[in-house]
Amino acid sequence: MLNSIIDAFFITLLRNHGANVIVPSLAEDDQNENLIFILKYIQEHFATVTLKELSSFFNYSERQLQRIIKSSTGMSFSENIQQLRMNQTTRLLTNPDISIAVISEELGYSDIGNFRQAFKKCFGMTPLEYHNKTR
């Protein structure tokens, strides 16, 4: 009965928040029981999390954690962080009340130049161009 309740709980969560969840497709032998928790932790702390912090928190070596993330998502730790940052950036840039400098800082970039460069590499335009285009 408890398993049915838990299943119903997760089904409801996925229905309501499915767009915000990264669930990798895993082969049976690659399943790691902590993987969902690792990915969720990355999603919640992408602006500040480091591989060292993550490996310490989940009690894995950095190298082992890199392998787990890469094999399950197809991207490295830093690529996952970059993707999450850019997804959040596009959401924040649609708000005309938030400056690009504030967005950059909120997403964990210490230098706005690095933020602009990463954004332009990902989208082919600067954050300001994207911001003006989405107004």
**CATH, residue 90:** 1.10.10.60
Residue 31: what pLDDT? 47
Asked if residue 107 belongs to a domain, the reply is yes
Asked if residue 71 belongs to a domain, the reply is no
Residue 32: what pLDDT? 56
- In the predicted structure, residue 1 carries a pLDDT above the cut 50: yes
pLDDT band at 116 (very low <50, low <70, confident <90, very high): very high
Asked if residue 72 belongs to a domain, the reply is no
Tell me the mean pLDDT in the region 78-96: 90
Range of the domain at 91: 81-133
pLDDT band at 21 (very low <50, low <70, confident <90, very high): low
Asked if residue 101 belongs to a domain, the reply is yes
Residue 77: what pLDDT? 95
Asked if residue 104 belongs to a domain, the reply is yes
| Cα–Cα distance, 9 to 11 (Å, whole number) | 5
- In the predicted structure, residue 14 carries a pLDDT above the cut 80: no
- In the predicted structure, residue 5 carries a pLDDT above the cut 90: no
HEC string of the chain equals: CHHHHHHHHHHHHHHHHHHHCCCCCCCHHHCCCCHHHHHHHHHHCCCCCCHHHHHHHHCCCHHHHHHHHHHHHCCCHHHHHHHHHHHHHHHHHCCCCCCHHHHHHHCCCCCHHHHHHHHHHHHCCCHHHHHHHCC
Q: What is the mean pLDDT of the chain?
A: 84
Number of domains observed in the structure of the chain: 1
